[in-house]
Amino acid sequence: LRAMGFSQEQARRLLALQPRLGPEHREAAAAQLLLLGLSAEAALALVERSPALLRLPAERLRERAEELRRLGLDGGRAASEGAGGTPGL
């Protein structure tokens, strides 16, 4: 997690979520969120608000991330935000 850009404190908080899950599962989920362009802090905040994201199979989370990218999500924001529109989910 540290190599992905999480601070020591952020990594500790992420690893404390869903303690029955293996660390590799949490790392895979974090990687998908970072690939969406979220910062480490934003990714952590998201999984703290919705810890069920960590229980999703890695493949399912990857598919959802790809769908969000197709809809124009870039860096946690809709690509069409400047035009005043947001993609519908």
Domains in the chain: boundaries: 2-71
pLDDT band with cut points at 50, 70 and 90 for residue 61: confident
Give the pLDDT score at 42: 93
CA distances to 15, 27, 70 from 58, in Å: 16, 10, 18
More confident residue, 45 or 66: 45
Residue by residue, DSSP assigns 9-32 as HHHHHHHHSSTTS-HHHHHHHHHH
Taking residues 72-87, report their average pLDDT.
50
Q: Are the beta carbons of 86 and 78 closer than 8 angstroms?
A: yes
Taking residues 13-23, report their average pLDDT.
89
> Is the pLDDT at 75 greater than 70, yes or no?
no
Entry pTM: 0.72
Taking residues 1-20, report their average pLDDT.
92
